[in-house]
Structure 1
Amino acid sequence: MTECAVILAGGQANRMGGGDKGRLMLGDQSLIERVIERITPQVDAVVLNANGDLSRFEDLGLPLVADSIGEFPGPLAGVLAGMDWAAEQGHEWLISVAADTPCFPRDLAVRLAQGDTPVILAATPDPERGRLPQPTFGRWQVSLRHELRASLNDGVRKIRQWTQAQGETLVVFGEDDFFNINTPEDLAWAEQHLK
C-alpha cells in the first residue's frame, strides 16, 4: 500500500460559530482525535490540513500542511495540500477525510480502493437521487495534483465539478456512515447516540 491520508480541518466552521470544529469534545475525545484514531490504521501515514497558525495542532503529533491557494477556497485546496505532501513522501494515493465526521467506516480506505478511476468518492444511499456523494471522503491519485492546482487557480471550488471531470467513481457506504457535526444540535445528537 502506498497511500496516505489527509484530515481536512481547514474550514471556517461558520455554522458552529467559528474556531476549530475538530477540537470540540465528543465524550472523552475531541472530534479530530476520533478521526485520527479511525484513519491511522487504514493508511501508511496521516497529515493534517489546516489554515492560520498551525502550531495550535502540534500536540496531535502529525505533520501539518496549509492550503497553498489563498482566501479559503474550500476542501479541494486541502486535498491539493495533502496531495503535495503525499508526493513529497512518495505516496501514489491520498485518502481524504473530514475533521468533523468522527464515525466514518473503519474500512474506508479498503472499500474506496475498489474503485478503478483516478478519483473515487464515498457516497451514501439516497431515496430520491439513488446515491448521495460525500465529497470530502475520497481516494485521489496523487499524480493529478498539477491538474487540480490549475483548476483551483482557474476558480474551480466545487469538489464534484472537478471530480466528475476526472471520471469519478462513487462507492456506496451505509446511510449513517458520514454523519458530520456542523451545528451545536449535531454535536448534542452525537453525544446522545454515543451513550
Structure 2
Amino acid sequence: MFPETIETDRLSLERLTTDDVLDLYEHARAGAPHIDEITRHVNWDPHETPGETHEFVAAMEEGWDERTHATYVVRTREGEPLAGDLGGTTGLEFDWDRRRAGLGLWLRKPLWGRGYSGERAGALLALAFERLDLDLVYVTHDPENDASRRAIEKYVERFGGRREGTVRNALQYASGRVADEVRYSISGAEYRASVE
C-alpha cells in the first residue's frame, strides 16, 4: 500500500525497519549530539537503551503492516549534509474512518533550516492525496517551537492549507507534561489546486 522508498530532489525516504534500530538508537539516544534540542518540542524522550529503540521500530513496523502508520527514515542524497546517513524520521499516521492523516517529522540538527521539512512534506502529501486518496492531512507543533512554525507555515501556504488554531492541552509529552499545540491542515482539494 505504501511505497518502500520515496525520492525527492535532495532526500530519500526509506521505510523504517528493524535493520535501522542501531543507527536510529545512535542518533535518538540520551547523550547523542543535540538530542536535548531535538526532543525539546516533540512527544518522545531520548532513548535509554537499544531495546527501547527496537520497541519503537517494531511498533512502527506493525503500524505499517496494519496500515495505521507509514514511517520512513529520512536520508539526504549525495551532495547534501549527512549524505546517506540517517537524518531523522518522518511519516503519516492514518485515521481511515475520517479519511485523514497526521504528518510528523524530527531531524538531526545539521539538517535544520535547509528546507528539508517542506520537501519531504510535499512528497508525503502526494502520497496521501494522489495515491491514498485521503481528504485531509494535518500537522501540529508546540507553540514555543518557532522553527517548526516557520517551516510548517511555508509548506502549508504553498499547498493551499490553513492554520486551524491552537488546541489547548492537546499535546502530551513522554514525561507526562501536557501542552497546547498549534494545528494546520491541507485538504485534498487545496492540494490539487496548488499543484495544477
Question: Shorter-chain-normalised TM-score: which range?
Answer: 0.3 to 0.5
Name the structure, 1 or 2, with higher relative contact order (CA <8 Å, separation 6+): 1
Q: What is the TM-score when the length of structure 2 is the normalising length?
A: 0.33
Higher strand share: 2
